[in-house]
Amino acid sequence: MQRAALRAAAAARPVPCRWFRGPVPLLAVTAADKEALLRLRRNTGLPFTQCREALQRCAGDLEQAEAWLQAEAQRRGWSRSGTLRSRRAREGLVGLLRDGAAAVMVEVNCETDFVARTPQFQQLVERVVLGTMAQCRASPPRGDKYLLQEEELGQLRTSPGGELLSDHFALAMGQLGEKLALRRAAWLQVPEATGHIGAYAHGSLAAPGPVAMGTYGALVACEVTEPALPAPQLEALGKKVAQHVVGMAPTTLGSPEDQPQGEHEKRLLAQSFLLAPDMTLGQFLAAQGGLRVRDFLRFQCGHEEEGEGQ
């Protein structure tokens, strides 16, 4: 009789929020849940996996989850900066998009090629590309080419007035379990009436939507010359120049009159053309007509470019 009473009394006690290894029911994924997860991550500095489990075990109560996280962090010696920050992220994708007389290109990094090929990561790259294009459209003219500075990357949004991309990165790191980084972003702009932008993504994936993705990318700002080429030929010629930029990795533009200086030539217009090595790119364009190169951008995922086409 006494044992039965003791068991009933124990069962009636409230169960404290504790860490244990058994399965925990997931919270419904709502906007409020995401906001709570982000707030808990910002308040504690602990990894998203631990913040998410704290919310699950404490039934979504933010204050209780934060209190338990702080207690567990002190007891277990967890690093408040999280374990992901110190890891290297050299894999990932280059994403690019053309929209009329403007084009943007970004590099988003992760730790493994496996994650780079997941739909979740590719959706994140697409968000970054679209956010960069929105920033390009909303910004005053800054010349033909603009590379975003570090503080500007941190303030990119999904759309004008939309959510910060940094919040999407934080959530994606919790979901994918890898360090993710927006390494760089840039855009090219040309005159509407007389300009054309050649584009090419190498190792491209069959990504949904208008964003092209690969491990290399190039954008080439061109002036359309007379006599004008038909649109399909103009498109094909611009793509060939962008392919050359990816393959030959020039660092400066040079001029059509430059003479080649061997296999280590880094001036774009003086390099032997990738698809016709017996002539320079400048000579090839002069013979073809239709385009004059004004500037270019080249991104190689995980690699520090020299000069970035300056």
Q: What is the pLDDT of residue 168?
A: 82
The 10s digit of each residue's pLDDT in 39-66 is: 887 777 677 778 888 888 898 888 888 8
Q: Record the tokens describing residue 160, joined without a space.
A: 């004008």
pTM of the model: 0.74
Q: Are 233 and 289 in contact (CB under 8 A)?
A: no
Which has the minimum average pLDDT: 59-68, 104-113, 202-211?
Answer: 202-211
Q: What is the pLDDT of residue 80?
A: 43
pLDDT at residue 81 greater than cutoff 60: no
The β-bridge partners of 200 are: 218
Q: Quick one: pLDDT at residue 37?
A: 84
Q: How far apart are CA 62 and CA 81, in angstroms?
A: 20
Structural domains in the chain, sorted by start? 14-76 (1.10.8.10), 91-302 (3.30.479.20)
As a whole number, the mean pLDDT across the chain is: 83
The Cα-based distances of 247 to 107, 241, 253, 258 in angstroms read 18, 10, 15, 20
Check pLDDT > 90 for residue 151: no
**Residue 164 bridge partners (DSSP):** 157
With cut-offs at 50, 70 and 90, classify the pLDDT of residue 10: very low
Band (188; pLDDT cuts 50, 70, 90): very high
Residue 13: pLDDT band by 50, 70, 90 thresholds?
A: very low
Give the pLDDT band (50/70/90) at residue 144: confident
Residues of the chain with pLDDT > 90, as a percent, come to 51
pLDDT band at 182 (very low <50, low <70, confident <90, very high): very high
State residue 191's pLDDT score: 94
Look at residue 17 in the predicted model and tell me its pLDDT: 42
> Does residue 136 have a pLDDT over 90?
yes
Lowest mean pLDDT among 19-28, 75-84, 233-242: 19-28
Instruction: Identify the weakest region by mean pLDDT among 23-32, 39-48, 162-171.
Output: 23-32
- Three-class DSSP labels, 189-236: ECCCCCEEEEEEEECCCCCCCCCEEECEEEEEEEEECCCCCCHHHHHH
Answer whether residue 32 shows pLDDT above 70: yes
Nearest to 288 by CA among 279, 297, 296: 279
